[in-house]
A and B are shown apart, each in its own frame.
Chain A
Amino acid sequence: MARLLDVLREDLRLTGTKEGCGEGECGACSVLIDGVLVNSCLVPALQVAGAEIKTIEGIASGEQLHRVQQAFIDCGGAQCGICTPGMVIAAISLLNHNSNPDEAAIRNGLAGNLCRCTGYIKIFEAVVRACQSPEA
């Protein structure tokens, strides 16, 4: 049975969603299903019939980046970039639930998304910066 991740990447060619581990550990495949943050590698495609799926491709409004995306650029939150789509989605999900998270909330909110490049520090800074930016 196809996973949601396969349908996104192979059938729809929405390759912004990445596969890092295939077992729900790394979060590179994070998407929002009806607004809920999930690892798309663990979701059978059939299970999302009728649901709204939001991937990284749906985050910016045309040329206008989402404030989280802009903050990732400004603060150095993306290095190699492979975890970045999932990390951006996770950060948006966090801010959707808590518009002004403290450091502990940011750490917990992103703990399901692994990054091997940044040591997370610049990602935390990006989330804080995004909170301070006006919503686009």
Chain B
Amino acid sequence: MKQQHTVGSPVPRKEGRDKVTGQARYVDDLHFPDMLYGVTVRSPVARGHLRQIVFDSDVIPWDEFVIVTAKDIPGLNAVALILLDQPYLADKFVNHAEEPVLLLAHHDKYLLEEARRAVRVQIDPLPAIFSIEDSLNRKETIWGEDNVFKHFHVEKGDVDSVWGDADFIVEGEYTTGAQEQLYIENNGVIAIANQDDGVTVWGSMQCPYYVHKALSKLFPLDETKIRVIQVETGGGFGGKEEYPSMIAGHAALLAWKSGRPVKMVYDRAEDMVATTKRHPSRTRHRTAVSREGKLLGMDIEFVVDGGAYATLSSVVLSRGTIHAAGPYNCPNVRIQSKAIATNVPPHGAFRGFGAPQSIFALERHLNKVAGVVGLAPEELRRRNFIHEGEMTATSQVIHEKVDMDGLMKRAFELTDYYEKRKRFEVENASSRQKKGIGFASFMHGAGFTGSGEQFLESVVGVEATRDGRVRVLAASTEIGQGTNTIFAQIAADALSVDYDLIEIARPDTGSVPNSGPTVASRTVMIVGKLVESAAIGLKQTLVNSGLLATEYSSQEFQKACVEYLEKHGPLKSFSKYKQPENIRWDDEKYRGDAYGAYAWAVYVAEVTVDPITYEAHVDDFVAVQEVGHVMHPILAAGQIEGGVAQAIGFTLFENVVWKEGRMANNQMTNYIMPTAADIPPIRVFFAETQYALGPSGAKGIGELPMDGAAPAILNAIEHATGLSLTHVPLMPEELMLAMENERA
């Protein structure tokens, strides 16, 4: 019997060796014989009628090119996701700058680039709208009847009853900007497509079955003739959740028309200007609070800018809405939210999925509330933290042993919070540079919202191989976060065999079941649990067959697998998600158990603000969280560190400059993400509990670290400067204006 558990230990990353030696093959590293390259010709303006496409230049041999327009689409001209409003190629109308209009392919990629520049897309422009305000005011109606993709209304208690008796009513408005994904590998695919073989796409992606669904509508083919294969993927973060359906369709259309393999890989400028970013947001809070600092009522209005098409905005809005009232026990809550349309490229999934936006607003606002009541920010939180048995905004009774006080206590001890809070105030009076320390407390739900997991009906398989190893069959992708490693750990422990005995099948819709998308911090908690139960099923089959004793070594297990295959044929075991009875959700009222489990956290940031350069620098960052059982200490810490770094970028570095609805700074040269020289020490600590329904007690982790840094840093800047800032990213220019206003 294998003694040691692999879950919880820092086993080496499954594909680590390939990655450090450069042997891992990403899509742009693949080359097919007879392959063409594909590019996209895009709209130069934000909105208008497509008048004409002119093939300029006498030097381009146009007859050598494969050219695809909307008229060449064999099936449905819509990227099938939630709605069918976004075309693969604009036909008569464009709704955002850089909207795809025409596709070109050629074997010479240098000539191809010249040709792309020689196509003139002529559009009769129409007035466009680019802001949440203009969209809400319907300055132009650009989507549906009212520019609203989706709205939600969450109601708990009776908010209208609290205003008369409240000791204080505190209002505030908070906004967040767009954020570029900036995975280091741009979007890319290779497609083969023809009537006989069907459509096969290899690509960088998070969700092979999303792409499969979209291609099934784009081509008039039986689903079995569509195959989507994820290759090594150089970062996702949500940016490769829905967008790959677009680029995969484009490459497949060119392949369909040409009869040759087509590779389409964006360069950085195109990826930045045309693909999805984090939704900009606006949140308004009106809060009733008692003299003792008890929250009496929270009225919250949350709006996200979805861009020109619906994509995933309704779901992003949902998560942002549910997280908008945070880990607090407030008896009366109303949250009204909207995802609205503007004429910018659609915003999409990005780590945190709406929650970083609404949590930023709440955690800044609670500092304001604390100030009005006359309490320290931590004391206000402490008087309102949610506990086991109390209800969230969606009236979900928390059945976890949540201990926000404990997380806060630990975070403050690790940072000397109280000592620094006092000392900085004294020192700032005479020092040129101003120091501050601040925090945010928050939670993040794991898995799809509400009944989402029930609808997904995810399936995972495991199979024995001919050499007696076990292969995990799932569509969940490795995008750097460690899916391969964690699944192998879970399967190894469930089978009581060595970690090295487990293989992970390449996510290929032709050979793995649909375990759902690789999103929503669900891969370990939901899909991992299915890996565990499928593995247990396989072991049971071996034991029942009499080939495996109840106690065995890895070698004996291997032998039993080999014998089983020889005697009985294939040995496979599948497991399908079943919603636990105690998770209940009302989609109509938006009430109930929004998530099976939450991760809970308190993050503390220490900053220095320079009143001459107006730089705000994060000097130290401590992240304390409870994510259930920690499956792999290095991968888990890596998730937190990476997420915090991304969130520091979101807070202080990453500013999307918009010009007529188009990203103007679509280069790494002038859209700045944090480098090795910019990042503070990020100190990560886990408090561990066991979540009964997760594999080995684990919950979700991936998105959590995106939520807390922005408010913690701005709260620290408030401590350092006294400035109550309400927008991220906070660029030095804005800090300068705020500080100058303060002085004036």
Contacts and interface: CB of A to CB of B under 8 A. Distances in A.
Contacts of B645: 118-120
Contacts of A123: 676
Nearest to B235: A80
B185 A82 contact: yes
A126 to B, nearest CB: 9
Given A79-B638, A81-B232, A107-B676, A114 B16 contact: no
A83 B184 CA distance: 7
Interface string B139-167: 00000000000000000000000000000
Contacts of B679: 119-121
Which of B23, B182, B184: most chain A CB closer than 10 A? B184
22 contacts: A18-B26, A19-B28, A20-B184, A20-B668, A22-B267, A22-B268, A25-B668, A26-B184, A56-B21, A65-B17, A65-B20, A73-B12, A73-B16, A78-B13, A81-B19, A82-B235, A85-B20, A107-B676, A107-B677, A110-B675, A117-B480, A119-B642
B184 A28 contact: yes
A47 interface: no
Interface in B1-15: 10, 12-13, 15
Contacts of B23: 16
Interface string A71-94: 011111011111111001000000
Contact of A78 (B20, B185, B481, B669): B20
B644 interface: yes
Contacts of A40: none
A88 B20 contact: yes
Given A73-B17, A79-B480, A116-B235, A57 B682 contact: no
B117 interface: no
A14 B21 CA distance: 11
Contacts of B172: none
Nearest to A73: B16
Q: Chain A, interface size: which category? A: 35 or more
A69 B20 contact: yes
B321 interface: no
Closest 3 CB pairs of A and B: A16-B22, A80-B480, A82-B234
A23 B667 contact: yes
B269 to A, nearest CB: 8
B578 interface: no
B638 A59 contact: no
Contact of B21 (A17, A59, A122): A59
B505 interface: no
A84 B20 contact: yes
B681 interface: yes
A28 B185 CA distance: 9
B25 interface: yes
Nearest to B672: A25
Given A23-B667, A25-B669, A73-B12, A60 B637 contact: no
Interface in B180-231: 182-186
A15 interface: yes
A122 B236 CA distance: 19
A36 interface: no
Please indicate which of the listed interface residues A21, A80, A85, A114 has the most CB atoms of chain B within 10 Å of its own CB: A80
Contacts of B675: 110-112, 114, 120
B646 interface: yes
B479 interface: yes
Contacts of A56: 21-22
B601 to A, nearest CB: 16
B677 A76 contact: no
Interface in A1-57: 9, 13-23, 25-26, 28, 55-57
